[in-house]
Structure 1
């Protein structure tokens, strides 16, 4: 997904020692070194990527052909055999070393994420922390999670059974542009820990961040060829990803996810999909309003609202609605926008011209349908080509597109309610079910409301970071927000095939020679009645 070209600044003005014409950005030669790590690109026209902050060039990326993609799968499949043969404990060690490298060299990738995605630096740090947490989690726990498990056999002592796990083989991962580092880590690292090879297609717009992590993984000891990164157009390399892979992992829009699922289905290979969301936040009447308002700013405007778990709807009890709205609007209006490669800005820019178009169109459509703009509501080309103010709306009606459609930008609507059950029903009245947020001074009350929400993750007194950062928890969507989970045991075991093995000793599970079937059935019936009373059966 590419951003707009600049209207008035010529490309000749780009400083050759910076990326995208941004002062203090890493050198363009470094960008070229990372781009060279991608597979393929000999027979397809390269693509020039532009920096959202300035609209100026970042680098030129090679684009793989169908043949390049299939070659990458061949190489990955060859490398996977030796990788899978290593003990899981050795694979863990690579992730622990990667964890340390990410934290030690975080300034490099903070700059890259800001330059590629247009994020504020604190939002870029969320990606660093998420990556480190995932590497540490699977670096500590994957061997235990993958270890053979004893199970209860049909006949105690005589039937010895166990479950073993085998890697799928080669996993195809299609990564989005909005969280290029963290979502690469969350999907790629457990696949590798499980003994798979990976062929990843990151979005061109933010490919450098994935390539940076790939470089560090090989420095940490990952064998060459086990993780392949290919860049290219979906129309060109998509068929190879679907036809050559043993499992597909996709993060992106719901329509694309449905299309991919229908294409994978005939091959009977597994897949996981994290898709769209229209995430609600419920402010209960006993909530700490100052904390809820501050939390809502982070929940709604992190990464300029370009994250799947971002809040786009806020339901506030009428008894505190005016107080909350006043505090939230004030904090939103005070949010500083900027493009500096430091922590001075609270929000960065959108990432692409298409995102800016969608956000602008949604806000103008809501205005036309009678919505009130409480703050924001306009683009800021004076700051950069893709900046848009954080926007809070009231009086949004079902006639407005953004009432039910995902905006994926810095726009949120506030609604009042008087009955908590009504608020829960309205929060659930969506085809999506990815993330939700509940605010209350009473943790038990917040938990009870959370459990009634139809969303894969729900945060109490937080927007999204509590579940996002708790890597032991599964993360994913209900309804049209996806299939499968990342993180936790689920995020590792989905990349494996479960195999059950039983060793039978002594008593056969059919009548022996000379034993009448009726007598054998009678004895087995009595045995099953007795077994049912045993603990753990």
Structure 2
């Protein structure tokens, strides 16, 4: 065995998740009274969990109609009033976090500590945009065409109705986290959370309405993309999608045809570089945190690990020791370190990637097998060495608790290998000389890079943009970009006294000379 047996007893559902409570959440789905139903199961045990109504394309169309009708009044609501609602939501999330933790674990199979990171994330996001929206949305004076004579103002108007399609792996962060800035910008939202984790998203919706958000301003539909995806695109004024690169490409094409904007956070094959001067013990602990949160089902988790030749063997020894000590299991408390995969298809992907690599010569340093003794979807945290380009997981995203480890001889080689991917979402660099580590970080092709941290430093820096390069997506969440992308920028320019047209009595040639002298003077004076 490579991991301890903690969690061998299968976890029963917490008493908070009563059929009545889950049923009340299900009623929030925008679906007809006679809708078909879909059942979900708990990853820890495979036992039935939820019974949800399935939305039809007509239900989606109706949701957009109600959202559009409500949006005008919401956009006219003062930002100060939106702020009060959002801060009340912030307080409710923290006060009722035990409910959210239970739901996230029951639906996704993650540990309680990973679930709490989502609670923290949403509290930070709600507080940031509640308190930043006025500044970001307020009219701003801009440099006019002619100093003093041109009065130019930049305005921001809400897009209208935003479609948010959120994934199963981080059901609170990705659902509420993308809706919050869209709502604060004055938009209505029609959202499709993944069916497997829809209860968590519906819980956030219930709390937002309890905080006094008008009911039709944020609505949720449930269903397969193949059934209601076209309706979600047809009604949208803007698309926010988190998911696979393949799906993101289709959404981008469709959004382009409709000439609407889209923000897409897609796949990743994220790299971590351990420099020769890194603290080996700290880097080994950091690597565990980087590779195995939510059983590796995290868009910004690390799947490739590059270690300097000088410390490679010592680091591998320390890393393997810590991975073998990971407490694997299902428990609705803080007693385990890594939980379950979420879906059978994800277990199949992880197993096939590891089996393919081993069959082609990879060495398993830790883990490497499923753990049905703990539950139907458990897989051990796994380290592979001697991974080559012929193996599927060399360059394809696994999205599970598997990391490949490589040695390098120079920083140039490490940067080249880390950048040898079409993806560019997240990266991590470890070293004692932090100025040097930051320089290496700046050379990596990734939207966020963390120094001496896995991913939380950049993700939690909510005032800074977060998103991917290359095949990892388009657009950014967080920071000013995370709110302003949901708006239409408008320039209002008021020209006073004299513009660029020659005044009466002045010939065009003479006026051209006058303007030329004026431009040269402005250049000399340093005017922008």
Instruction: Tell me whether the two structures share a fold, i.e. TM-score over 0.5.
Output: yes
Q: State the alpha-carbon separation in 1 of the partners of residues 318 and 67 from structure 2.
A: 53
Task: Output one character per residue of 1:417-468: Cα deviation in whole Å (capped at 9) or x when no partner.
Answer: 0110000000000010000000001110110000000000000000101011
Q: What residue number does 2:290 align with?
A: 299
Q: What residue number does 1:9 align with?
A: none
Q: What residue number does 1:31 align with?
A: 22
**Partners of 1:172 and 1:241 within 8 A in 2:** yes
Q: What residue number does 1:365 align with?
A: 356
User: Counterpart of 1:319 in 2: which secondary structure?
Assistant: coil
Cα distance 1:536–1:211, how it changes in 2: closer, same or farther (>3 A)? farther
Asked if residue 514 in structure 1 is aligned to residue 505 in structure 2, the reply is yes
Asked if residue 178 in structure 1 is aligned to residue 162 in structure 2, the reply is no
- 2:438 is aligned, of 418, 437, 447, to 447
**Partners of 1:172 and 1:248 within 8 A in 2:** yes
Cα distance 1:536–1:145, how it changes in 2: closer, same or farther (>3 A)? farther
Q: State the alpha-carbon separation in 2 of the partners of residues 506 and 220 from structure 1.
A: 50
User: Counterpart of 1:533 in 2: which secondary structure?
Assistant: helix
Q: What residue number does 2:46 align with?
A: 55
Instruction: After TM superposition, list the pairs within 5 Å mapping 1:402-417 onto structure 2.
Output: 402-417=393-408
- 2:381 is aligned, of 378, 385, 390, to 390
**Partners of 1:288 and 1:440 within 8 A in 2:** yes
Asked if residue 287 in structure 1 is aligned to residue 278 in structure 2, the reply is yes
Q: What residue number does 1:314 align with?
A: 305
CA RMSD of aligned residues (A): 1.2
Instruction: After TM superposition, list the pairs within 5 Å mapping 1:179-258 onto structure 2.
Output: 179-258=170-249
Pick 1 or 2: higher relative contact order, CA cutoff 8 A, min separation 6.
2
Shift of 1:44: 3.9
> Post-superposition, which runs of at least 4 consecutive aligned residues in structure 1 deviate over 4 A?
none
Q: State the alpha-carbon separation in 2 of the partners of residues 24 and 374 from structure 1.
A: 39
Shift of 1:514: 2.2
Q: What residue number does 1:336 align with?
A: 327
Q: What residue number does 1:106 align with?
A: 97
**Partners of 1:42 and 1:64 within 8 A in 2:** no
Shift of 1:536: 5.0
Shift of 1:134: 0.3
Q: State the alpha-carbon separation in 1 of the partners of residues 177 and 388 from structure 2.
A: 37
Asked if residue 277 in structure 1 is aligned to residue 287 in structure 2, the reply is no
**Partners of 1:22 and 1:54 within 8 A in 2:** no
Q: What residue number does 1:327 align with?
A: 318
**Partners of 1:43 and 1:65 within 8 A in 2:** no
User: Counterpart of 1:142 in 2: which secondary structure?
Assistant: helix
Cα distance 1:317–1:32, how it changes in 2: closer, same or farther (>3 A)? same
Q: What residue number does 1:5 align with?
A: none
Q: State the alpha-carbon separation in 2 of the partners of residues 233 and 312 from structure 1.
A: 29
User: Counterpart of 1:225 in 2: which secondary structure?
Assistant: helix
Shift of 1:23: 4.6
**Partners of 2:16 and 2:99 within 8 A in 1:** no
User: Counterpart of 1:436 in 2: which secondary structure?
Assistant: strand
Q: State the alpha-carbon separation in 2 of the partners of residues 120 and 28 from structure 1.
A: 22
User: Counterpart of 1:243 in 2: which secondary structure?
Assistant: helix
Shift of 1:89: 2.2
User: Counterpart of 2:450 in 1: which secondary structure?
Assistant: strand
User: Counterpart of 2:222 in 1: which secondary structure?
Assistant: coil
Shift of 1:25: 5.1
- 1:470 is aligned, of 461, 472, 476, to 461
Shift of 1:24: 3.9
Shift of 1:150: 0.4
**Partners of 1:433 and 1:479 within 8 A in 2:** yes
Q: What residue number does 1:10 align with?
A: none
Q: What residue number does 2:5 align with?
A: none
User: Counterpart of 2:390 in 1: which secondary structure?
Assistant: coil
Asked if residue 401 in structure 1 is aligned to residue 401 in structure 2, the reply is no
User: Counterpart of 2:141 in 1: which secondary structure?
Assistant: strand
Q: Which runs of 5+ in 2 are unaligned?
A: 1-9
**Partners of 1:438 and 1:459 within 8 A in 2:** yes
Q: Which runs of 5+ in 1 are unaligned?
A: 1-13, 15-19
**Partners of 1:52 and 1:117 within 8 A in 2:** yes
